[in-house]
A and B are shown apart, each in its own frame.
Chain A
């Protein structure tokens, strides 16, 4: 308790220092990154969002960041130091920052926190995440059309709901356009490891797979495919340098609109704790341009699907869908509710293998 008082006193002190200056002092916004800003994927796109905030508000905002911050005690210290030095809003951009964010937020009730991909909120903590499975519906459809061996591969990171949603969404849509399609899943247990990702790509190719979807962030799978043949997709980033082949399209994380809106809310005092889950309609998930090697009718079909998702007329998880064991999950025309999706821990019918645990 005493420590908390000391910290609060210190915070008041720090605020006092900056508060004594002019009222139109820039609002300080901090970003905590799990990887280096040059990773070309997850952290890189969060940093593009940060730069977009600077461009949108100019002198009225000052953004700072610390990169490659390990999850746990180090993250908690970085957030505390940011809060102590007068930041008004802090974005913590990795799932593992969840408990540290909640801990620090308790000590600084006047600082707002935004935690990416988590589920714990507080009066001064919001969460935000993207519906990447909407993008998977599109890449899955393309994969179903483009495979000649009727075998598609999926490089999965960790067995968590977000990744399982991606696997299910991809397979469901590949199967709809190609009833003979099979999917092989490899668990890489990493978000970013070019060596492992390249090995996983080779292993899938050896099993006769010719189109690969990845839930890991490096360009290694595309580089391997460029060499060995086969198709793939950009993940987290556009990866346009591998177009028109092997890169067929991409799923891009675009955090900029959300970041600009939330910083604006802090500036005009309208910030409230929310749990945001945005997708293609709001622009948080963007789809990279369709490569010309995709037949034109397929391109038109996926464009239509994308427009449908954007307009809210099509939901990727629309029944009839059975679970892997054959039991019914969604009836004809029924749409999955967000609660089930958020905690998804089962495969849908037709996927071979078990979710590791």
Chain B
């Protein structure tokens, strides 16, 4: 029998190289997977990890990495506050949707005005939409002690239905020939969240995501609030003695997560996605949970994890049409990444002991 025994002092060197080790292990196991599918494993790994960065079409895929990573990073940063304090909001997908509906709805009320105030107003309302949606689980938890995991998750499905209703009703494009979906914001000059410098892919959402990395780093390491979160995560009792109000912490953490997810939603809506449609949400809110843990809830780690995740998406698409591997194998590959990170983490923090039968 095997038994896990906590190491007293995990090796610092090992802790710092585990993410890299996990990536290498994923490449090996993934290579095996592709070999079993009858593909050249070296070529497959090269297409996924190398080609988007340095291949023939890298001038296009490199900026796309930022576009794909930005919402993941932004949402994961917001989630990391709560996760550090053991407050588990897993409904970021719903908060992302509500950000888009609030921001988009307010914007469309002003269509077709070309005022420069509309875009900032939409961004503000997007953040507000996400915050309001996150306040539902927050208030239910602080008032009635409900479980925020369940409530926030269930609200994702409510938000999805609201999104469908909006796409088919209130926000439907009156010139869309009866098809679902709002007007396309990309065709509305003063609202289109286009890339700021051509060829970089960087739209306002990308800039916000990177600014948020710095902001979160400062708050988490230099601010009293970051300390409160740290203490609450380690011991709720100790946090009480340190003067932390647990209810306030729940509201703050869910509010931050909701606000960041809402921002990601409205930036995506006015930029790369373009319109509110039934299938507007593509799972960023859920993938961001993986990104947050892959980045060990550290802002810089989350940034790197977001970029890595984006790389596997874009490289995975290349592998699909260049090698003919199924989409499911790419998802397995992404799953391996998290699996190996967790596995390596356990081995760094724990020793495996053979359990010998104890005699009385």
- A binding-site residues for B, Cβ under 8 Å: 1-3, 6-7, 10, 13-14, 17, 30, 36-37, 64-74, 76-78, 80-82, 84-85, 95-96, 99, 103, 119, 158-161, 189, 342-345, 356-357
The 5 residue pairs across chains A and B that have the minimum distance between CB atoms: A73-B272, A64-B321, A70-B282, A2-B198, A72-B273
For A81, the chain B residues whose CB sits under 8 A away are 57, 60-61, 317-318, 321
How close is B58's CB to chain A, nearest CB, in angstroms?
9
Question: Taking the complex as formed, is B280 at the interface, i.e. its CB lies under 8 A from any CB of chain A?
Answer: yes
Question: Taking the complex as formed, is B322 at the interface, i.e. its CB lies under 8 A from any CB of chain A?
Answer: yes
Question: Taking the complex as formed, is B275 at the interface, i.e. its CB lies under 8 A from any CB of chain A?
Answer: yes
A73 to B65, CA, bound (A): 12
The reply to whether A158 and B320 contact each other, CB–CB distance below 8 Å, is no
Interface hub of A36, A64, A66 (most chain B Cβ within 10 A): A66
| Chain B: interface residue total (CB-CB under 8 A) | 46
Known contacts A3-B198, A36-B327, A189-B164, A72 near B57 by CB under 8 Å? no
> How many inter-chain residue pairs (CB < 8 Å) link A and B?
116
- Per the 8 Å Cβ criterion, residues 231-254 of B in contact with A are none
Contact stretch, chosen from B33-41, B133-141, B172-180, B337-345: B172-180
For B199, the chain A residues whose CB sits under 8 A away are 2-3, 6
The reply to whether B60 and A65 contact each other, CB–CB distance below 8 Å, is no
For B272, the chain A residues whose CB sits under 8 A away are 72-73, 76
The chain B residue with its CB closest to the CB of A36 is B327
**Of A14, A68, A119, A356, which is within 8 A of B57 by CB?**
A14
Question: Taking the complex as formed, is B356 at the interface, i.e. its CB lies under 8 A from any CB of chain A?
Answer: no
For B169, the chain A residues whose CB sits under 8 A away are 356-357
The reply to whether A66 and B320 contact each other, CB–CB distance below 8 Å, is yes
The reply to whether A99 and B274 contact each other, CB–CB distance below 8 Å, is yes
A69 to B326, CA, bound (A): 12
The reply to whether B279 and A67 contact each other, CB–CB distance below 8 Å, is no
How close is A346's CB to chain B, nearest CB, in angstroms?
10
The reply to whether B177 and A159 contact each other, CB–CB distance below 8 Å, is no
How close is B8's CB to chain A, nearest CB, in angstroms?
46
The reply to whether A161 and B60 contact each other, CB–CB distance below 8 Å, is no
**Of A65, A77, A84, which is within 8 A of B320 by CB?**
A65
For A342, the chain B residues whose CB sits under 8 A away are 177
Known contacts A3-B198, A158-B168, A95 near B317 by CB under 8 Å? no
The reply to whether A77 and B56 contact each other, CB–CB distance below 8 Å, is no
A96 to B176, CA, bound (A): 12
For A67, the chain B residues whose CB sits under 8 A away are 320, 326-327
Question: Taking the complex as formed, is B111 at the interface, i.e. its CB lies under 8 A from any CB of chain A?
Answer: no
A103 to B274, CA, bound (A): 11
Known contacts A3-B195, A6-B59, A159-B168, A65 near B282 by CB under 8 Å? no
